[in-house]
A and B are shown apart, each in its own frame.
Chain A
Amino acid sequence: MPVRPTAPAPRPRPIRHGRRCSLILAASLVAGALAGCGGSGGDADTVKIAYNRSTDNNIRFKDAFLEAVRKQFEQAHPGKKVELVPIQAADNDYAAKVQQMMRSPKTAPDLVYEDTFRISSDIAAGYLRPLDDQLSRWDLWGQFVDTAKAAARAEDGRTYGVPDGTDTRGLWFNKEIFAKAGLPANWQPRTWAELLDAARSVRRKVPGVIPLNVYTGKAAGEAAAMQGFEMLLYGTGADPLYDPAAKKWATGSRGFRDALDFVRTVYTEKLGPDPSDALDPNVGTRLATDWMPNGKLAIALDGSWLGQNWIHKGPKEWPAWSTALGQAAMPTQYSQPPGKVSLSGGWTWAIPAKAAHPDLAFDFVKTLQTKENAVKWDVADAQIAVRQDVAADPAYLRSMPGITFFTGLVPFTHYRPALPAYPQVSAAIGEAMESVTTGGSTASAARAYDDQLASLTR
């Protein structure tokens, strides 16, 4: 800034003392301001654990479980402290937040809860550390089944996370509504067409009820891609999403268009919820706490954990659910072998590369995974066990009506391609689904997906 020409020229003055003052002042101001952004990686005895807290304020069983484990851990490790860092956000936002935390040693937690479908992407980004050394010295690791061990194994052959359970997917149906629609209580569709016909019968004979819910669109996030789309896609043929032999993501496939067509049929024939409800980010919560328990929905293509919403002290108590609902496996498209489809995911505990206390974090994982805690957690979170000792535990087997059915889907289940690009492919699937849900054509949605894939996997 030049001095304004109209301003009187400043009279030079001796300024020794004044200058020293302002120098000291200036220096101290800057120092003070900079001290505020130093931050610290926490103290040496505190282990920081980041996990996703449900956006539904009635669901706090994960927090309660971790709190109990924290007490056990602190008793067993005198002088050590555990700091739980709950992140209450939608699935996508939780992932973005944790990824940003892991970028810097100042903010990286010591332990994070990672969805298996994102973990390979985070491994490729260098956010996580391999756990092979610790796992080889951990006697209980042998109890984990092979598929689960592979869930957090990267392309480099090393393991980066400890899974705490898995899940399977199928059809839940309301027997009372089915009786009104003239459908059997032991219903098991063999093809997509039979499933759609059942939904049409409900629409005809039981007005005011949503016949079938298939998660769709961007807002539902991975629920749409996995519970919705891939449950269809994996019933159309082998390796419909990613071809491991050619190492290429499939584009322009027939199965992809057929699966999109199915979604389009559900929403254009009004067999599903109103599109505006289906595309609402809170659709999952509404389905579990309102549509299902209040008899507003006949068939839900959903996960094995759905029952945990209705148990005693759950977010929406519904004592009659175990008798009111039936389960059926999702059929393949034309009943081609093996006839049933399921997808599995699950979550793992992983240790960030920039964690300040990796060893303490692994000790916490061991505390989480004592047999007693592992059973308690799989029961509380309605998970399918990934450990032989847990799967044989009577408390687990008694825990949930339908658990035998959903455990029985394990032989038919598929895991999503564990590749870094998967989360972006999943987002592209969500967009393609959203476009057909709002009445767009299948061909143009499939084309847009192919274009996106070309740019993602350059």
Chain B
Amino acid sequence: MSPAPSAPATTGLRRARAVRWLPIAPATLLLLLFLAGPIGYCGYLAFTDMRLTGSATVDFVGFANFRRAFADPAFRNAVVLTLVFTVLSALLGQNTLGLALAALMRRASRPVRTVTGALVITAWVLPEIVAAFLLYAFFRREGTLNALLDQLHLPTQNWLFTLPILAVSFANVWRGTAFSMLIYSAALAEIPRDVEEAAEVDGASGARRFWHITLPMIRRSIGTNLMLNTLQTLSVFGLIWAMTRGGPGNRSQTLPVYMYDQAFLKSLIGYGTAVALLLLLVGSLFSVVYLRLLKVEV
């Protein structure tokens, strides 16, 4: 802070600060109106028994929606599947595969890099619904995957029916890996060459170099990437809805699909909103764990 200025200057300063707020005032106001407003409204709805149809009155019911969620086996099933889906497709799939691709591409020749990068990024830029239909066509009983297996004389099965959560997890990996790959490519490019060369001269093997030098140096990118991947994956809806509708039964019904089912197909808007808040909670839990584990400052 500067030493206390004389009085007229202070008012001038204050006025100047107020004026500096003016240009972003419209944006702030609109954000409050269209973002904070609905979020606050959702927070209120979660404690009511609002329905889309079947009842005209809306009553405040306290924590009844949350109690109901924790007592509902379908909700517990959705939480478990959400964790499976997130761990499989975000943590193990997109994150690891993205890092592997980025590390391998560093050493690859230019044409290989270009082709690989183009392929991976194509999957990423496809609209979600297009990707979902492609993968539905790939996994369905008369689909590409079974045709391939048939050619190789391996047993075929209806993947969307026997292993739905694995099928949608694979779909999410296929679609989202490019994002991690780009983040890690950028992070790896930042590592100074001479550090690696020094380790090489000291006789460290490739794997050791990767473990002791590369990974610690890109720790922050790992944290950021895990966080973004997880939050994106937690909210995947269109992909699963188009491929399996959360079925068969509820064997691929993750929280967003369960939420849609309760709020819009069973008309329980209040309960659906409560589930949405719980989904938010799951997301923040993941974030806290990452921050703790990787000691990243945001």
The answer to whether A427 and B1 touch (CB under 8 A), given A100-B52, A276-B248, is no
The reply on B203 being an interface residue by CB < 8 A is no
Given contacts A121-B53, A124-B53, A427-B266, 19 further A-B contacts (CB under 8 A): A10-B20, A15-B19, A22-B19, A25-B23, A29-B26, A92-B265, A96-B52, A96-B265, A99-B53, A125-B51, A125-B52, A125-B56, A217-B247, A274-B158, A420-B53, A423-B54, A431-B250, A437-B248, A440-B249
- Taking CB atoms, residues of chain B closer than 8 Å to A274 are 141, 158
**Partner among A15, A96, A126 whose Cβ is within 8 Å of the Cβ of B264:** A96
The reply on B220 being an interface residue by CB < 8 A is no
The reply on A18 being an interface residue by CB < 8 A is yes
- Taking CB atoms, residues of chain B closer than 8 Å to A420 are 53-55
Chain A: minimal CB distance from B49 (Å): 9
C-alpha spacing A124/B9, complex, angstroms? 65
The reply on A238 being an interface residue by CB < 8 A is no
Within 8 A of B (CB), among A103-139: 118, 121-122, 124-127
The reply on B151 being an interface residue by CB < 8 A is no
- For the residues of B in contact with A, the DSSP-based class is helix
Verify B245–A219 contact, CB threshold 8 A: yes
The reply on A281 being an interface residue by CB < 8 A is yes
**Partner among A26, A424, A431, A434 whose Cβ is within 8 Å of the Cβ of B25:** A26
Verify B26–A30 contact, CB threshold 8 A: yes
What are 30 A-B pairs with beta-carbon distances under 8 A?
A5-B1, A13-B16, A15-B16, A19-B22, A22-B19, A30-B26, A30-B30, A96-B265, A99-B52, A118-B53, A121-B54, A122-B53, A124-B53, A124-B55, A125-B51, A125-B53, A218-B245, A218-B247, A276-B248, A279-B247, A281-B245, A423-B267, A424-B266, A431-B249, A431-B250, A434-B247, A434-B249, A437-B248, A438-B249, A448-B73
The reply on A33 being an interface residue by CB < 8 A is yes
- Taking CB atoms, residues of chain B closer than 8 Å to A12 are 9, 12-13, 15-16
C-alpha spacing A274/B158, complex, angstroms? 10
Verify B54–A275 contact, CB threshold 8 A: no
C-alpha spacing A59/B85, complex, angstroms? 38
The reply on A421 being an interface residue by CB < 8 A is yes
The reply on A246 being an interface residue by CB < 8 A is no
C-alpha spacing A304/B52, complex, angstroms? 31
**Partner among A9, A26, A127, A279 whose Cβ is within 8 Å of the Cβ of B53:** A127
C-alpha spacing A100/B30, complex, angstroms? 24
The reply on A309 being an interface residue by CB < 8 A is no
The reply on B205 being an interface residue by CB < 8 A is no
The reply on A455 being an interface residue by CB < 8 A is yes
- Taking CB atoms, residues of chain A closer than 8 Å to B148 are none
- Closest residue to B34 on the A side, CB-wise? A37
Chain B: minimal CB distance from A167 (Å): 23
- Taking CB atoms, residues of chain B closer than 8 Å to A15 are 15-16, 19
- Closest residue to A427 on the B side, CB-wise? B266
Verify A125–B54 contact, CB threshold 8 A: yes
Verify B22–A126 contact, CB threshold 8 A: no
The reply on B68 being an interface residue by CB < 8 A is yes
C-alpha spacing A19/B12, complex, angstroms? 13
The reply on B161 being an interface residue by CB < 8 A is yes
Verify B56–A124 contact, CB threshold 8 A: yes
Verify B26–A434 contact, CB threshold 8 A: no
Verify A22–B13 contact, CB threshold 8 A: no
- A1-42 vs B, Cβ < 8 Å mask (1 yes, 0 no): 001010001101101001100110110011001000000000
The reply on A435 being an interface residue by CB < 8 A is yes
The reply on B294 being an interface residue by CB < 8 A is no
Chain A: how many interface residues by the 8 Å CB criterion?
50
Within 8 A of A (CB), among B239-298: 245, 247-250, 264-267
C-alpha spacing A420/B265, complex, angstroms? 14
The reply on B160 being an interface residue by CB < 8 A is yes
Residues of B at under 8 Å CB distance from A?
1-2, 9, 12-13, 15-17, 19-20, 22-23, 25-26, 29-30, 51-56, 68, 73, 141, 158, 160-161, 245, 247-250, 264-267
- Closest residue to A97 on the B side, CB-wise? B264
C-alpha spacing A26/B158, complex, angstroms? 58
**Partner among A95, A126, A448 whose Cβ is within 8 Å of the Cβ of B56:** A126
Verify B54–A124 contact, CB threshold 8 A: yes
C-alpha spacing A271/B46, complex, angstroms? 45
Verify B245–A427 contact, CB threshold 8 A: no
Chain B: minimal CB distance from A27 (Å): 8
Verify B13–A10 contact, CB threshold 8 A: yes
Report the 5 A-B pairs with minimum CB-CB distance, sorted nearest first. A12-B12, A126-B56, A276-B161, A29-B26, A420-B54
Verify A276–B141 contact, CB threshold 8 A: yes
Verify A276–B249 contact, CB threshold 8 A: no
- A188-215 vs B, Cβ < 8 Å mask (1 yes, 0 no): 0000000000000000000000000000
C-alpha spacing A218/B17, complex, angstroms? 59
Chain A: minimal CB distance from B7 (Å): 12
Q: Which of A125, A275, A438 has the most CB of B within 10 A?
A: A125
- Taking CB atoms, residues of chain A closer than 8 Å to B265 are 92, 96, 427
Chain A: minimal CB distance from B190 (Å): 24
- Taking CB atoms, residues of chain B closer than 8 Å to A424 are 54, 266-267
C-alpha spacing A60/B13, complex, angstroms? 68
Verify B68–A455 contact, CB threshold 8 A: yes
Verify A10–B264 contact, CB threshold 8 A: no
- Taking CB atoms, residues of chain A closer than 8 Å to B161 are 275-276, 279
C-alpha spacing A437/B267, complex, angstroms? 25
- Taking CB atoms, residues of chain A closer than 8 Å to B26 are 26, 29-30, 33
Chain A: minimal CB distance from B257 (Å): 11
- Taking CB atoms, residues of chain A closer than 8 Å to B160 are 276
- Taking CB atoms, residues of chain B closer than 8 Å to A9 are 2, 13
Verify B249–A435 contact, CB threshold 8 A: yes
Chain B: minimal CB distance from A205 (Å): 25
Chain B: minimal CB distance from A77 (Å): 32
C-alpha spacing A424/B265, complex, angstroms? 8
Verify A99–B13 contact, CB threshold 8 A: no
Verify B248–A438 contact, CB threshold 8 A: yes
Verify B16–A219 contact, CB threshold 8 A: no
- Closest residue to A12 on the B side, CB-wise? B12
Chain A: minimal CB distance from B120 (Å): 30
- Taking CB atoms, residues of chain A closer than 8 Å to B17 are 3, 10
C-alpha spacing A29/B2, complex, angstroms? 35
Q: Which of A3, A15, A23, A126 has the most CB of B within 10 A?
A: A15
- Taking CB atoms, residues of chain A closer than 8 Å to B51 are 125
- Taking CB atoms, residues of chain A closer than 8 Å to B20 are 10
C-alpha spacing A276/B136, complex, angstroms? 13
Chain A: minimal CB distance from B254 (Å): 15
